[in-house]
Amino acid sequence: MDEAKVEIMEFVKFLKNPAAYEKLGAKIPKGAILSGPPGTGKTLLAKATAGEAGVPFLSVSGSEFVEMFVGVGASRVRDLFASAKKHAPCIIFVDEIDAIGKARGKGGQFGGNDERESTLNQLLVEMDGFGSNEHVVVLAGTNRPDVLDDALMRPGRFDRHIAIDRPDIKGRGDIFKVHLRPIKTEEDIPKLAQKLAALTPGFSGADIHNVCNEAALIAARHNKETVVEADFEAAIERVIVGLEKKSKVLSPEEKKTVAYHEAGHAVAGWYLEHADPLLKVSIIPRGVGALGYAQYLPKDQYLYSTQQLMDRMCMTLGGRVSEHIFFGTITTGAQDDLQKVTKMAYAQVATYGMDNELGPLSYGNPEKENQFTKPYSEQTGQLIDNQVRSLIGQAFRKTTSLLTEKRADVEKVAKLLMEKEVLNRSDLERLLGKRPFQDKLHELLGTEVTAQDEQYAKGSTSAPTTDSPPTAPSSSTTPPPPTV
């Protein structure tokens, strides 16, 4: 979190030595909002700030202020700030501030008094009242910054808005090195961390900790002395798609249908240039409803072109098309695929403005997801539906022509799947030859290890640093988690 740490360290420096800033006429920022997806380390960063600054740290949760009794929330806010002023300089950390900080005037309060609103009003007064020279910093964590009240977010209350996103591949490698330390393993830690980082795109820090813990549990379940690489790979699979359902026995007809369905996904992705590289395909039932799955490895990518989105849609439709070609009938197994394709098509037409007929218009507004009126007319709604149907029809036809042409390859993959149940990338390379497009999977899974990394693995206290500049935060959507 290089950028987040730079911003937060300013608070630490000010709390340690306020005179250096005040002699130049600067004031300490009143507060900072730490926002980002769950599990990315917002609370952890606030704790680290308190420890680094060496000042008193008052931690409360947003839900602690909301009570049934009138006036209790506002009274607790007053007490909290009174206590903070006595111990100044100090840090107040309000976790899950969206419990009290939601925009006022919304939501169904039918009674005469809205306790949450009066609590928020008191918080606004305390953060920017008449007395504004106390050295009290308020840090707040939330994963829903879009619902917070504008008055709370303005400079003078929360001056800094620090976005903490999911880590990129380098960040995941560093996090794995931290969580692999207590794990008893004879693997080369730096190499293992880099390989696992490549296998877990879209994972947060909490997910990575969970993977390391699951790997140790799996090794203990099989009475192993140390945790090996295969245990980590099994743990990643478990986190993404759930536990193997060995008790669920498929009939031969169902097993054959699932095999051809997954073979359709695998072969479609193999021959489409912009599809993600395939990692593994399986017909072992897992989790709640998955009878089989094809696991891909998406890149840490923030922008997608129309061609890339079309290839992803075709790859997702590969299972349904394969059933249609080989059995002349279709099953309910493609429900999840169809939901994904429909979501992608609606996003292209109505949100990203990628449709020629509708033009460069965007109707996606994340702040008004639950509104009852649509921001467009009936005719426009009809046009959107027609264009989505046309787009999915185009992807379906493209996938049908591809799998009809590669029919023999689909049969080969399906037959081997029925025999082995799990195929990995090397099995598909033996069956179908090298993938005709260059992908960076081998580079990602076999990167070089620096001497600095090796020193870190042997027990040095600080994580390895590189001179490469941190990646610029993107305003667009976060990369998707591994595709299943």
Q: What is the pLDDT of residues 56-98, one digit of tens each?
A: 888 888 888 777 677 788 888 888 888 888 887 888 888 888 8
pTM above 0.95, yes or no: no
Q: With 80 as the cut, is the pLDDT of residue 11 above it?
A: yes
Residues in contact with 287: Cβ distance below 8 Å, sequence separation at least 6, in sequence order: 241, 242, 243, 245
What architecture is the 252-437 domain classified under in CATH? Up-down Bundle (1.20)
Mean pLDDT across 476-484: 42
pLDDT interval class at 5 (50, 70, 90): confident
Q: Which residue reads 């005040």 in tokens?
A: 22
What three-state secondary structure class fits 156? Answer: coil
Residue 344 has pLDDT above 90, yes or no: yes
CA contacts within 13 A on the Cβ side of 89 = 19
Domains of the chain, by residue range, sit at 2-163, 169-241+448-457, 252-437
pLDDT at position 396 is 95
Q: What is the dihedral of CA 90, 95, 100, 102, to 10 degrees?
A: 110
164, 1 contact by CB (below 8 A): yes
Distance CA 213, CA 232 (A): 9
Confidence (pLDDT) at 359:
87
Return the SS3 of 141.
Answer: strand
pLDDT given for residue 68 in this prediction: 67
Q: What is the pLDDT averaged over residues 151-171?
A: 87
- Both tokens of 91, joined, read 């840090």
Residues 169-241+448-457, CATH architecture = Orthogonal Bundle (1.10)
- Region 267-292: mean pLDDT is 84
Q: What is the pLDDT of residues 193-210, one digit of tens each?
A: 988 998 888 899 999 999
Q: Per the residue annotation, which of 233, 237, 262, 323 is the catalytic one?
A: 262
Interatomic CA distance for residues 144 and 152, integer angstroms: 14
pLDDT at 448: 39
Residue 238 CB contacts under 8 Å (≥ 6 apart), including other chains: 214, 218
Per-residue pLDDT, 482: 45
Selection from 409, 450, 66 nearest residue 266 by Cα:
409
Q: Which amino acid appears at position 420 of this protein?
A: K
Angle between helices 306-327 and 335-346 (to 10 degrees): 150
pLDDT bin (cut points 50, 70, 90) of residue 160 is confident
Q: Can you tell me the distance from the alpha carbon of 34 to that of 25, in angstroms, rounded to the nearest whole number?
A: 26
Which one of 1.10.290.10, 3.40.50.1370, 3.40.1350.10, 3.40.50.300 gives the CATH number of domain 2-163? 3.40.50.300
The per-residue pLDDT for range 417-468, each reduced to its tens digit, is: 888 888 888 888 888 888 887 766 655 555 433 334 444 334 433 333 333 3
Which one has a higher pLDDT value, 402 or 244?
A: 402
CB 124 within 8 A of CB 152: yes
Instruction: Find the helix or strand (DSSP H, E) in which 59 lies.
Output: strand 57-61
Residue 262 annotated as catalytic: yes
* pLDDT above 90: residue 386: yes
CB 200 within 8 A of CB 187: no
Q: Classify residue 251 by its DSSP letter.
A: P
- Predicted local distance difference test score (pLDDT) of residue 317: 93
